[in-house]
Amino acid sequence: MTNTEKKLPQISAAQLFCMLMLSRLSAEITFPLSGTGYGGETLLALVIAEVIRFLLALPLIIYSAKGNNLYRAAYRKSKFMGWALAVIAFLLLAGAVVKSLFHTAVFAQRSLLPKGSPVVLTLIAAGFAVYAAVMGAEALARSGTLFLIAAAVITAAVMLADIPYMKFDAMDLSRSQYGGLIDDITERLLRGGDYLVFAALLPFVALKKEKRKLNACGASLFFALFSTLAGIMLCAFYCLTLREFYGMTEYPFFAAASLSDIALLKRLDGGGAALWTLCAAFRTGLMLFAAWSVIIQPIWEARGKSAFTSGNAEERGSAAG
Amino acid sequence: MKKIISMIVIPLLLTGCSDNTELGDRAIIQAAAIDFNRGEYQVSALLFSSGGGGGDTIDASQDNVIKVSGSGKTLAEAIDNISLIDGKEIYMSETKLLILGGGFSDISALPALNTLYYDMRCSLNMPVCFSKDSELLTDLHFKEGITAAEKPLSMIEYAYDSGAYPKAVLLDVLADNSGGRATLIPAFEETTNGYGMTDDEEGRTAVLSGSCYMIDGRLSAPFDSQMTTGLMLLSGLTDKIMLNFTVEGDSYNEYTCEAYNIKVELLPDKEDMVKVSARFRERNGAALSEEQCDYALAALTELVRGAMSIM
């Protein structure tokens, strides 16, 4: 590494896992439901969507586990292929950014500020996302971990507070309706993008070359497992608490949080909505940073920057260019 | 650069203050009664009034609860009228009790309930009850309880815990409607019972008298307490009740016992047949004799069968 090149921001595999989990959970909670499924259908759709997502991302995970930077490696193999891969990933992530931004603003307005201006809310979320992306991988990693902890605490509080309202016979899967299974699966798949973020952030992960395979695979497998488990847990919570009303509400977490009644805090829907709005804005920033990351790599490769080589952190150049 | 960004961002974050309302300018509704009569929604609400005695403390005994009524072609219009009459912005997120009137036996209450949840931000755990005269509970000035809705609420809670009457919250109604099920809702009626419960000099008060079903948003005719108990047992809403029974040859004495661990199993192959099992004990916990248990079980089975004609 030359003296003129800045040191690459370093994040740990655990931080990467936290960011991916936060991204997935914020999409689950802040994106509106459009289906009317309930019970067995939603659980089945969730599991199928997770499996499809993982299988689609498997080649990416395996390739990344080998310690190579996918986009640079593709560029070195074929400039056209490298650019095509980077541009496709960029467009997908850019679309995810716009979608995430839109849903963040809508969620904030519907749950927190019904009379608020959607334009102003969108601008605030966009400003937050841009600032988060500009601050870089390390700032995103540190703040993402903190946000995940805070979000987990309030979500756990809502679940515990809603225990008296749970009806366990509501999980009778024989009463499920399966009319909209395909639509439900499609909707869940369109909330994704996390594996693209994974591929984009992987070069920033501080790993020793010899341990890279294990950590890369471990982070992605842990994410696949825990995101599925978290999704199942949320789905089961909504079914037990809201029953058929689950399919009638846009934001089931917000509805379930309105049931809670904890001492001085009373209803947790306001606090929960505020925190998850923040997490959704973080997701937007994370996606924006990932989009920048994938498009900049072939440019750096073309310029001959000695960055993002296979697994050796010291050979990486500046992320800021 | 950071200072410039902060100077731009911070004012944007204050947009939440642009449409603020002082707490004193909010009409905090504690209980709301809605009815539909002559083509109009009629709403009467109990509001916290900071102008009464007791200052800023909600205290029903200090006359700081006021009743305001409004009407309109839609529920939202009726609530807006209350807002205009009271001169404050309505706040229904803390509404503790919703009373539905007899007018909803002819039309569906679901549009009103959807307005209450989606637009007025009522909590999903807001209890719902029925009274033929919807303004019964809002006219009575209960003296007990911190809020005016607390007395009826405690009646509902206690009755539900003892298995006498059902308890339904807004979530139950919306979820059951979505699932194509009927919701059993407790019913109040007027009575004259003692002195001191309310401000009324003649001892006028309200008491739980039974229940009614809400099916597709419409209220059925009310059921008496016996039928209500049977319906609760059939629906699985309770598994313990206080039961009265007589012993053959002793028709002068009626016994009361507690029936618990009640299990009701419908036998679809056999018309009008139901299998009931339960345990019985006296109020003080002492065991009943075998003969008494048999008679108690017979009375319990008869109670459940009586409710089957409704199901």
Could you report the per-residue pLDDT of A233-245, keeping only the tens digit for each? Answer: 998 899 889 888 8
Ramachandran quadrant class, A304 (left: phi over 0; alpha: psi -120 to 50; beta: rest): left
Radius of gyration (Cα) for chain B, nearest Å?
Answer: 24
Question: Is pLDDT above 60 for A249?
Answer: yes
Out of B9, B16, B178, the one facing A248 most closely (by C-beta) is: B178
Please give the pLDDT value at position B158: 92
ipTM value for the complex:
0.79
pLDDT tens profile B174-232 = 999 988 889 999 999 998 876 767 777 777 888 999 999 999 999 999 999 999 999 99
Over residues B247-271, the pLDDT tens digits come to: 876 666 788 899 999 999 888 776 6
Q: How far apart, in whole angstroms, are the C-alpha atoms of residue B151 and residue B207?
A: 10
In terms of pLDDT, which residue wins out, A301 or B75?
Answer: B75
B12 vs A72, higher pLDDT: A72
Higher pLDDT, B64 or A208: B64
Q: Considering only CB atoms, which residues of chain A are within 8 Å of chain B?
A: 112-113, 115-117, 120-121, 123-124, 127, 131, 165, 175, 242-245, 247-248, 255, 258-259, 261, 267
How far does B122 lie from chain A, in Å, by closest CA? 9
State pLDDT tens for residues B67-122. 889 999 999 999 999 888 888 888 898 899 999 999 999 999 999 999 999 899 89
Mean pLDDT of B40-55: 74
Q: How many CA atoms lie within 13 A of B97 on its CB side?
A: 32
pLDDT at position B4, please?
65
Determine the Cα–Cα distance for residues A1 and A24; give it in Å rounded to an integer: 35
Tell me whether residues B12 and A127 touch, CB distance under 8 A. Answer: yes
- Which residue's entry shows tokens 């009459």? B85
| CA pair distance B151, B161, nearest whole angstrom | 15
- Chain A residue closest to B2 (CA)? A131
Residue from the list B15, B123, B179 with its beta carbon closest to the beta carbon of A267:
B123
Q: How far is Cα A163 from Cα A156, in angstroms, rounded to an integer?
A: 11
Residue of B nearest to A256 (CA): B124
Query: Would the CB atoms of A258 and B16 count as touching at under 8 Å?
Result: no
**Which of A33, A162, A258, A267 is the best residue to mutate to test the B interface, defined by the most B CB atoms within 10 Å of its own CB?**
A258
B123 lies within 8 A of chain A by CB? yes
Most confident region among A304-308, B73-77, B270-274 by mean pLDDT: B73-77
Whether chain A has a CB inside 8 Å of the CB on B21: the answer is no
Helices (H), chain A: 13-30, 40-65, 70-77, 79-111, 118-135, 137-161, 181-189, 194-201, 212-242, 252-257, 269-303
Answer yes or no: do A255 and B124 touch at CB < 8 A.
yes
Q: Find the mean pLDDT for residues A31-50.
A: 79
The band of B9, judged by pLDDT with boundaries at 50, 70 and 90, is low
pLDDT digits (tens, 9 = 90+) for A115-126: 788 898 899 999
Q: Both tokens of residue B13?
A: 């974050």
